[in-house]
Structure 1
Amino acid sequence: MTRKLFFPGMIVVVATVLAAQTSQRAEERITKEVRHELVMLPYYDVFDNLAYRVDGPKVTLFGQVTRPTLKSDAESVIKKIEGVETVDNQIEVLPLSPNDDRIRLAAYRTIFSKAPLQRYQLGAVPPIHIIVKNGNITLEGVVANEGDKNMAEIAAQGVRGAFSVKNNLRVEK
């Protein structure tokens, strides 16, 4: 009698473990595909910031973009990924402002004119993102060390017309 209970119980435990591993692999695959699809968006650049969270079949999009079409493009490419059932698009479209555009360009020139930061300028989507909203600069992304993080902030603080600088850069480990 003990054997009869033991084997069905083992089957349930093994099935539960296999289901958990399969769902974890699916979530890892979705995470990898979401990142790839977002980075491949044609108009995603240094002045946009896209982030995401994968919770099983649900993907939540965050960030700020300068073009409304980028927000809708991001949502549509994520919906096409196999295994994604719902997309919660919380991406903010930044307001149109000639002053913000001027500050963006000035911040870009100032930050990437510093020799140690020039390497972050390379690539289709640079690791440093410059977000400007209503005259306020926010730096997002990843840098190699604390010195680069501080240098980017100091450079951004030197931009004329900017009201504030918030440094959300993360140092890679």
Structure 2
Amino acid sequence: MFPHDRAGILFAMSASGARQDRLPTDRRAAGGSRIMKARFLVFFALLACLAAPRAARAQELRDVRLADQIAAAVTGYTHYTIFDDIDASVENGHVTLTGKVTMPYKRGDIEKRVTKIDGVRSVRNNIKVLPVSIFDDDLRANIARAIYRSPSFWTYAAMVNPPIHIVVDRGHVTLTGVVNSPVEKMLAQSLASGRGELGITNKLRTEM
């Protein structure tokens, strides 16, 4: 074997040994990198889990504020009367309007007012228009006089938006809104009865 051949063999053996020495270190480095990545993923997952309830709560608060603004927009509508009744539900900024109004133009006007509110993403208009009926008109007027001319409800009658609403649909009467007590709720129904109606549903709430 020539000297230079021996040197070549020694060099090759030395290089091979160096690679073998480095291999475990490289593997440890790669393993450590994977562990760090896994830790970061777990950390960010935990952050996401913690942030989700806060985001949901913040959206709920925004929906509550929107509901208040919608109520103000509806009651502030000039043509909204005690013979109309509108409800609104809000979910993630998406609004659904329900209820009944006496004239078709009210349905469109109310939707437009709600759509303009900042934060409203969409509006689903499920408001129904009550049928035109002279009988229903007379029934509305008679019941309204009976309730709001009663001394027990004079305070309500003086309000800009009286809280007791009288919805009449083909002779069927529904009382909606809010009163101070269960006694007032029953009194309103008693005053509305016996006016020629086909039936009365009392949906008055006692939340004031």
TM-score by structure 1 length? 0.89
Are residues 1:163 and 2:191 paired?
no
Distance 1:117 1:144 in 2: 10
What is the aligned-residue RMSD (CA, Å)?
1.9
CA contact (8 A) 1:141 1:170 kept: yes
Q: Does residue 140 in structure 1 map to residue 176 in structure 2? A: yes
Q: Which has the higher strand share?
A: 1
CA distance in 2, matches of 1:82, 1:107: 38
Q: What are structure 2's unaligned runs of at least 5 residues?
A: 1-34
How far apart, in 2, do the equivalents of 1:9 and 1:55 lie?
Answer: 26
Larger RCO (CA under 8 A, 6+ residues apart): 1
Which residue of structure 1 lines up, in the alignment, with residue 62 of structure 2?
A: 26
CA distance change for structure 1 residues 29 and 172 in 2, over 3 Å: closer, same or farther? closer
Alignment partner, residue 82 of structure 1? 118
Question: Which residue is equivalent to 2:190?
Answer: 154
Between Structure 1 and Structure 2, the one with more helix by share is: 2
Compare CA radii of gyration and give the structure with the larger one: 2
Query: Is the 1:128–1:139 Cα contact (8 Å) retained in structure 2?
Result: yes
Query: Cα distance, 1:21 vs. partner?
Result: 3.0
The match for 1:96 is: 132
Q: Which residue of 2 aligns with 1:37?
A: 73
Structure 2 match to 1:57: 93
CA distance in 1, matches of 2:43, 2:171: 67
What is the DSSP-based 3-state SS (H/G/I as helix, E as strand, rest coil) of the residue aligned with 2:154? helix
In 2: Cα distance, 1:150 partner to 1:122 partner: 21
* TM-score computed with the length of structure 2 as normaliser: 0.75
